[in-house]
Amino acid sequence: MITINKTYKFTGSATATTVTYTWESGNECAGVTPSSGTVASGQTVDFVFTYEDEACTSTEFTLSVYDDICETPVEQTYSYANPCTGLSAAIKQTTEGSNPFVFTVLPTGGTFPYNIQWIYNTAVFQPASQNSNTPDNILYLEIKPSVTILPSAAKVTANITDANGCTVSVEKKLDLCQPTVINVLAEAVCIVPFTVGGISATTFAGGIELSASECSGTTIDWSTIQLSYDTSKLFVQTNLNIMTVYAIAGVVAQTYNITYTVKNSIGVTSTEGVVTVSVPVCTTDSLSGPSMPTAVSKKFASGATSGDTLELNLENIISA
């Protein structure tokens, strides 16, 4: 409801003691309080004109006035400027790429004080802790801990109502772009069996670097990495975006998949990536290189000079 306050002084003829007035409007969306009355000549009256919406403010009111000397009504038509034309607002996000998010709405025009109502997706966000003295035009939001996957975008809306009942609504789009992670193929190598993480490992693939695309204004938080793999076959360690994979003794030589996700600095979970590790065949049997069965020796004949050749028969080399 939009209101306009006006004050009128009713003065009758020189010898009049009272003045009677009546307000009328042909539009049901508008009204005035009080709509009629009788007052002493020279008295002022405060009126409140009300309108259902901004379009209704173009309504014209007819005022009929007469006094106790001259009872012939005098009519005059009044209309009032729309008090809402100057009201506007804008929302500014005062933090970028961080959680919690801070929004500030700045109303201009209209009539102070302003009443501000914030609207946002309560399934995704909750109010963040803030100073008790924080004004109503500032909103602190954080992502709910229970939310694992966010929409790609969200919006925050502020509805502003000024002292006259004029309203304006503004919104701010919040980009919640989802990071994309990269699939990786890694080759494991055989190692002397040793214990790591309480298991006996026989192959090793280290220095596997993971990567993810970053959305504008955000960074990747590698401390949030989540892994999924067969723990009966593999043992995996991560240091930020560097992965090390061990195969548990006795596993079949084949490829094994490790799926992973990570969040960015505003809590958006990435797409799912896959690290494929190829585990080779490893054996504990000893292998020997080529050997000579019998020592063979020859000497150059007396008088040999530079450029002479001596042939040795090596056809009996055996590889065990």
Taking the CA atoms of residue 121, residue 130, residue 115 and residue 158 in that order, the dihedral angle to the nearest 10 degrees is -30
Element (H, E) at 185: strand 184-187
Beta bridge partners of 25: 61
Distant-in-sequence, close-in-space partners of 307: CB < 8 Å, separation ≥ 6: none
C-alpha span between 170 and 156 (Å, rounded) = 9
For residue 27, what pLDDT is reported?
92
Q: What is the 3-state secondary structure (H, E, C) of 191-216?
A: EEEEEECCEEEEEEEEEEECCECCCC
Q: Which residue has the tokens 């009204």?
A: 31
Q: How many CA atoms lie within 13 A of 227 on its CB side?
A: 22
Q: Is residue 147 classed exposed, middle or buried when 0-12, 13-18 and 19+ CB atoms within 10 A define those classes?
A: middle
Do the beta carbons of residue 39 and residue 19 sit within 8 Å? yes
For residue 319, what pLDDT is reported?
44
For residue 97, what pLDDT is reported?
59
C-alpha span between 85 and 239 (Å, rounded) = 58
pTM, 2 dp: 0.62
Weakly modelled stretches of the chain, pLDDT under 50 = 286-288, 318-320
For residue 96, what pLDDT is reported?
61
Separation in Å, CA 81 to CA 86, 111, 202, 241, 297: 11, 14, 85, 63, 121
Separation in Å, CA 257 to CA 183, 236, 279: 10, 11, 11
For residue 153, what pLDDT is reported?
81
3-state helix, strand, coil in the chain (%, to 5): 0, 50, 50
Grouping H, G, I as helix, E, B as strand and the rest as coil, residue 262 is: strand
For residue 313, what pLDDT is reported?
66
- Sheet holding 153-161: strands in order across? 115-119, 153-161, 167-175
For residue 320, what pLDDT is reported?
39
Domains and CATH numbers, the chain: 2-78 (2.60.40.10), 88-175 (2.60.40), 184-278 (2.60.40.10)
| pLDDT tens figures, 121-154 | 999 899 987 777 788 999 999 888 788 777 878 8
DSSP states of 38-85: EEETTEEEEEEEEESSGGGGG--EEEEEEESS--S-EEEEE----TTT
Q: Is residue 214 classed exposed, middle or buried when 0-12, 13-18 and 19+ CB atoms within 10 A define those classes?
A: middle
Nearest to 62 by CA among 31, 96, 25, 34: 25
Do the beta carbons of residue 48 and residue 61 sit within 8 Å? no
Do the beta carbons of residue 105 and residue 157 sit within 8 Å? no
Q: Which residue has the tokens 């596993």?
A: 251
For residue 295, what pLDDT is reported?
61
